[in-house]
Structure 1
C-alpha cells in the first residue's frame, strides 16, 4: 500500500508538471535571459522582413520613443478618453489608428524604475533603481557603474543616441544621460514638480513665502536648469527656470530641440535613437502661456494632455517632412499610471489603483507602435508587452546580438519585434512581473493577475501618500482580467484552476535572484 501511494504521488507530480508546462508556453534559451514563447515561423518571417527593409533603405532603422510622464491608460481618445473627458488627442489617436494599439502594455509602478528598466532591459530591483532619487537622498553607490545601457549599445553600433527632456534617474556625475551612453542630452534632471514647487505660492505657501525655509530648500533642491550635455561629460547650463511660465513652456522648448535634431539627422543620414521624454503631464502642471486653455476642460492637467498630443504630432510631422518616417520605428507610451494623489491635476484610468501601486491602474499604460509600411494600420492586440521589451526590439533593429550582453547579469526583456512588426503577430512574453521597491507584488500571465502583496489606499486617491503595503493573507489574490479588469473579486478557489500553476511561475522568477542577486544602492 505504501509503494502504491508513493507511485500515485509521483504520477500526480509528473502530471502536474506536464500540465503546468503546457500552460506555461515559455522556453528558457539561456540561463540569464527571461524565457520566451517560441514562434519559429514568426521568427523566420521577421528576420526576412527586417533584412528586406535594410536592403531597401541601405541602413539600420531609426528608433524614436515618445514617453509621456504619468499619463493614464484612459487619457488618449484611442483608449477611451480624449474629447469624452475634456482633452482631445487627435495625434495619438491617428498613430493608433494607423499602427498597433497595445491593450496589455505594462510599465513599472513609478517613473525612475520604468525609465531605468527600459534602458537596461532589467527589472529595477536588479539594478537598485527602485524609486526616484529625491531631494536629500544620499545613495551609497552609482548603479550605472556596472550597468550597460541601451544608449551605449546603440551608440557603439553606429547610432547617434539622444535623450531630450526629463531624466530622473540620477543627476550626479556618472549618472547623467551623457555619462551612461547617450551621445547628447538636452533636458531637466528632475520631474517638473520638483522645480516648480519653488515658485508656486498657492500650492506651497509654507515654502515659497517663508524666507528661512526657502534658504534651507536651496541647499537640497534638485538642479533647476535646462542642461545640455555631450558624451564625455561636457555639460552646459542653458537656462534656469525662474517662473511658472518657464516651466509651462518647457515642453515646447524640448520639442523644438528634438525637431531641430531630426532635421540634422536627415542631413547626416546616420541612424539615430531619440528618447523624447515629456515633462508633462506629471504634476504640477502649469499652462504653457503661449497656449492657455488648450483643452475643452480648461483644467491644467487636461491642457497638458492636449499640449503633449500637439507636440507628438509635430515630432512625427518632422519625421515625415524630412523623409525619415519610412525607416523609423515610433513608440508612444507613459512611464506609469496616473498620479491620483495630485487630483484633479492627474489623469484617468479605468482600472483599480494608480501610480505607486501594482494594480492595473498603476502599471497598465498606453502603448502605440507606429511604423508606416512595417506595422499594419488598424492593428490591435491584447498580448502582454512589458516596456522593457523595447530594449530587445531596439537591439534587434540595430543588429546587435543579445548574446554579447554581460553573462553575469540577468536580463528581463524579451525581443518582441515579431509581435510588433508582423500582421497578426503574437506576443513572445508569457508573464510580466511587478515589484514595489524590494517587495515582489504580483504577476500577470495570460489573462490572469496574481498578487502576493497589495497596496491599499486609506483615503480617496491616496495611493502614495496615505497607502500601505499589505500581505494578501490566506491565499494569493487571483483575478481574471477578462471578466474583472478592475481586480475587485478574486477567483482563485472558485473559478480558476491556475492558482498553483501561477504560483510555480512566480517561484521560477524568484529563483533567478539566487544566482543573480539584486543590487542595493541605499534607496
Structure 2
C-alpha cells in the first residue's frame, strides 16, 4: 500500500494577494518572490480564497473547520481575554483527526491559537502543554500573536529598562553619520563571546551586522573580558529574538528565552531551521503533517539580514531606510518615511521569507537549486503536498496602494472587505492534475480542514459530532479534477470581540490607526500601538494636549479631542463585522458603536448604543486591477450599490435594487442573518442555551463534572472552558452550574 502523503502547511502572516506578482498584483514596486511563484507554477493557484479578517480566527478555522461564530474565537487572542475565546481542547482538531490515520504532527513558529503566559497565564489552563492538548505531537514556537516590539535601545540598558525609550527605531546602532551611531564597536553574544566589528565592505553598519548575528553591539567600544552590565540580553528585539515554547508528545515542555543563544537570530530563519530539524528527524515509517507559521510580514516591520536579499533589491543597501535620513527635505519629520519605509521594509521581509521557503523545500528534499539560483520544484516526484496560505489581508502600512492592484489600506487587515480577507492560497503535490492551473472558484480557510482530512484518507464527516458539522467544504476535487465545478455557493468571513477576562490586570486604551481612520481599544500599552503604526491616546501619550498621566479611555474622548484641535473625528472599530459573497455580489454587515463628539466636555464623552449597517457591493478578482469593495470618495472608489442602517438591533433592509441584484441580495442577506443567529446562540451558550456543558456535546453529564475537576485544579483554577459565568475563574460557582443542570440535553442551532 502506498504511503499516505506528507503535508507541509505554510502560513504567511498579514499577507494578502496584493503582495504577490503570481496573482498579477504587487503594486508598482513588488517584492521578489520567485520561490512562491515556483510553487504556484508547479501546483494550483486559488484565485478566490478568503480568510477571516484577523489571525486567531483564521488559524482556529484551519484546525477546526468551523467559522469563528461557531467556536467563539472571534478575534486575535490577547492576555486579557477569557479561555472561552480560544480553541477548546474538546474540538476534533486537524492533528487529532490525522492521528487516526497514522500521522504525526508538528507546529513550528507562530500560530496564535491560544492565550499566552503573560499576565499570570490567566487564559492558559494547560500552560506550555497547550499545543499538545490540541493534538500536536511537537510544538516549537511562541504563544504570542507577533514578535515583540523593536528594542529601540538596541540592547543597551543605558537608555533605561523600557525598549521604547531608545533612539534606534530599527533595533540596531546605525552608522556614525546618524545621531548616536558608530562605525566600530564590540559585538557581544549571549554565550559571552565578543568580536570587534567595523563597517563592512558593502557599507553595512557594524551595529546591524552584530544584530544579524544575534548579538548586541557596544558602539565605539572594544571587547572586554566580561560582558558589560548594560548589555541586556533579556529583552526581546522584534524579529531578532524569540521566546520559543518547545513541547513534546509526552506532555513535557520547556521555554527558550531571548537570553538563550537558541532564541537569538533572525526569526524567519529560526522558524525555518526548526521546521527542517523536525522533518529530518522523521523516520519515514509514519506520514507527517508539518505546520510552519512564519511571523513575517506581521509588525513590527524590521530590516532582515542582507544575506537573504539580492544585491540589487531596492532598499537593501540604503543606510537611510528606517532612519530619519529617508525623510524628504522640507517634509514634516517622519511623514515620508512613514509612507515609503514600511513598504520598502515589507518588500525586504517578504523577499527574505521567500528565500527561506525555497531553502526549506530544498533541505527537505522536495526541490533543488538550478545553476542560475532558481528553484527546481517538481512535486510529482515527491510524496509531500505543500499548502501555502495567508492568515488575513495585509496590514495598513504594508498594503500595495498602486497599480497593479490598487488595494485599500483603509479597509485592510481587521476588516471584512476584500483587502482584509482576500489571501493567497497555493497547493502543490503529486496528485495535482495539470499543474500551473488557476482555480477561480471560491474557497475558504475553513475548507483546509476538509482538504487535510481528504489528503490523509480520513472520513471527515464521521470525525466530528453529527450535531456539530463543520463549516468547511471539500477541496480535494480541485486538485484531482481540472474540470471540477465550484463547490461553494457562497464565501463567508467574520470578526468580532472576544470575551474579556475581568481578572486581567492589563487595561486596553485608545490607539488611532490613522491610515485606516480608525480608533480601537485593543492594546494595553503604547509600544504595541506604536508597532501597529498607531497614535497612542492612553497613559503616557505623547500627543500634545492629551491629559497626563492617564490619557483617554474611549474613542468618543479621542474624536472629541481631535475635533477640538482642528482634526477630523475617527471611526470606532466595530464590535462585529461579517461579509458573504456569491463571487459577484458581496454583502458586508458592520456593527459599530456610536461615539459622538462632545468638544464642550471632552473628559466626559462616552460611547453608547450601536448602529448596524449593511453594504451591498459588486466585486471581482480581475487582474491587473480588481473591483474592490472600496469606500465612497477613495481614489479608486468602487462604492456600494446600496446601503441601509438600523439602530434597533434588527438587521437593516436594503431597497431599490434591480431584479438580478435583488435576487443576489436576498440570498446573501439570508446567509448573514443565519450567521447572526449562530453567533448569538454560541455567545449565549454558557449562560442561556446550555449552561454546564463545557465540552459542547449538548448534554450536561458526569464528563462535564470530571472536566471541571481537572481544570479547577490547573493554573490556580483561572479561566477555562468551564468558566460558565465568565468571571475568569473555574471554581465552585461553575461546578454548581453543572450540578444544577445535570441530565440536561440541549438543542443545537437549527443551522
Scaled to the shorter chain, the TM-score interval is 0.7 to 0.9
Q: Is the 8 A contact 1:410 1:512 kept in 2?
A: no
| Separation in structure 2 between the aligned mates of residue 416 and residue 90 of structure 1, nearest angstrom | 26
Give the aligned partner of residue 432 of structure 2: 374
Higher relative contact order (CA 8 A, sep 6+): 1
Q: CA RMSD in A?
A: 3.8
Deviates more, 1:302-311 or 1:232-241: 232-241
TM-score (norm 2): 0.53
Change in Cα spacing, 1:440 to 1:239, as seen in structure 2 (3 Å) is closer
| Separation in structure 1 between the aligned mates of residue 13 and residue 415 of structure 2, nearest angstrom | 16
Give the aligned partner of residue 425 of structure 1: 484
Deviations 1:386-417 (A, max 9, x none): 01101001111212112231234241111111
Give the aligned partner of residue 652 of structure 2: none
Q: Describe how 1:165-180 pairs up with structure 2 within 5 A.
A: 165-170=109-114, 171=116, 172-174=124-126, 176-180=130-134
Identify the structure with the greater helix proportion.
1
Determine which of 182, 201, 211 is the counterpart of 2:136. 182
Q: How far does residue 155 in structure 1 lie from its aligned partner after superposition?
A: 2.1
Give the aligned partner of residue 411 of structure 1: 470
Determine which of 269, 272, 289 is the counterpart of 2:285. 269
Give the aligned partner of residue 366 of structure 2: 320
Give the aligned partner of residue 258 of structure 2: 240
Q: Describe how 1:55-134 pairs up with structure 2 within 5 A.
A: 58-81=2-25, 84-134=28-78
| Separation in structure 2 between the aligned mates of residue 400 and residue 297 of structure 1, nearest angstrom | 48
Give the aligned partner of residue 145 of structure 2: 191
Change in Cα spacing, 1:410 to 1:194, as seen in structure 2 (3 Å) is farther
Deviations 1:62-108 (A, max 9, x none): 11111111112121220234595242100011111221111110100
| Separation in structure 1 between the aligned mates of residue 89 and residue 685 of structure 2, nearest angstrom | 12
| Separation in structure 2 between the aligned mates of residue 144 and residue 110 of structure 1, nearest angstrom | 19
Q: How far does residue 374 in structure 1 lie from its aligned partner after superposition?
A: 2.1
Determine which of 379, 385, 408 is the counterpart of 1:329. 385
Q: Is the 8 A contact 2:18 2:399 kept in 1?
A: no
Q: Describe how 1:299-378 pairs up with structure 2 within 5 A.
A: 299-317=344-362, 318-320=364-366, 326-340=382-396, 343=397, 350-352=406-408, 353-378=411-436
| Separation in structure 2 between the aligned mates of residue 337 and residue 208 of structure 1, nearest angstrom | 28
Q: Any gaps of 5 or more consecutive residues in structure 1?
A: 1-54, 212-216, 459-467
Deviations 1:166-218 (A, max 9, x none): 0212233437322210000111222333354686699x99942569xxxxx99
Q: How far does residue 320 in structure 1 lie from its aligned partner after superposition?
A: 1.8
Q: Is the 8 A contact 1:66 1:333 kept in 2?
A: yes
| Separation in structure 2 between the aligned mates of residue 248 and residue 131 of structure 1, nearest angstrom | 30
Q: Is the 8 A contact 1:108 1:434 kept in 2?
A: yes
Give the aligned partner of residue 500 of structure 1: 666
Give the aligned partner of residue 244 of structure 2: 226
Q: Describe how 1:392-411 pairs up with structure 2 within 5 A.
A: 392-401=450-459, 402-411=461-470
Change in Cα spacing, 1:303 to 1:453, as seen in structure 2 (3 Å) is same
Q: Is the 8 A contact 1:199 1:242 kept in 2?
A: no
Give the aligned partner of residue 49 of structure 1: none
Matched residue SS, 1:85: coil
| Separation in structure 2 between the aligned mates of residue 105 and residue 190 of structure 1, nearest angstrom | 26
Larger radius of gyration: 2
Deviations 1:418-470 (A, max 9, x none): 023321322311112222216352201132211232789x9xxxxxxxxx998
Q: Is the 8 A contact 1:72 1:334 kept in 2?
A: yes
| Separation in structure 2 between the aligned mates of residue 252 and residue 469 of structure 1, nearest angstrom | 47
Change in Cα spacing, 1:518 to 1:300, as seen in structure 2 (3 Å) is farther
Deviations 1:119-154 (A, max 9, x none): 010112221221222244454576423222111111
Pairs aligned (count) = 443
Q: Describe how 1:381-396 pairs up with structure 2 within 5 A.
A: 381-396=439-454
| Separation in structure 1 between the aligned mates of residue 271 and residue 482 of structure 2, nearest angstrom | 34
Matched residue SS, 2:289: strand
Change in Cα spacing, 1:517 to 1:190, as seen in structure 2 (3 Å) is closer
Deviates more, 1:357-366 or 1:287-296: 287-296
Q: Is the 8 A contact 1:185 1:227 kept in 2?
A: yes
Q: Is the 8 A contact 2:9 2:292 kept in 1?
A: yes
Deviates more, 1:316-325 or 1:155-164: 316-325
Q: Describe how 1:22-37 pairs up with structure 2 within 5 A.
A: none
Q: How far does residue 247 in structure 1 lie from its aligned partner after superposition?
A: 6.4
| Separation in structure 1 between the aligned mates of residue 617 and residue 284 of structure 2, nearest angstrom | 53
Matched residue SS, 2:366: helix
| Separation in structure 2 between the aligned mates of residue 471 and residue 252 of structure 1, nearest angstrom | 46
Determine which of 481, 486, 499 is the counterpart of 2:628. 486
TM-score (norm 1): 0.74
Give the aligned partner of residue 443 of structure 1: 580
Matched residue SS, 1:101: strand
Q: How far does residue 296 in structure 1 lie from its aligned partner after superposition?
A: 2.6
- Is the counterpart of residue 291 in structure 1 residue 307 in structure 2? yes
| Separation in structure 2 between the aligned mates of residue 469 and residue 389 of structure 1, nearest angstrom | 36
Q: How far does residue 482 in structure 1 lie from its aligned partner after superposition?
A: 6.2
Q: Describe how 1:138-153 pairs up with structure 2 within 5 A.
A: 138-139=82-83, 143-153=87-97
Give the aligned partner of residue 22 of structure 1: none
Change in Cα spacing, 1:88 to 1:142, as seen in structure 2 (3 Å) is closer
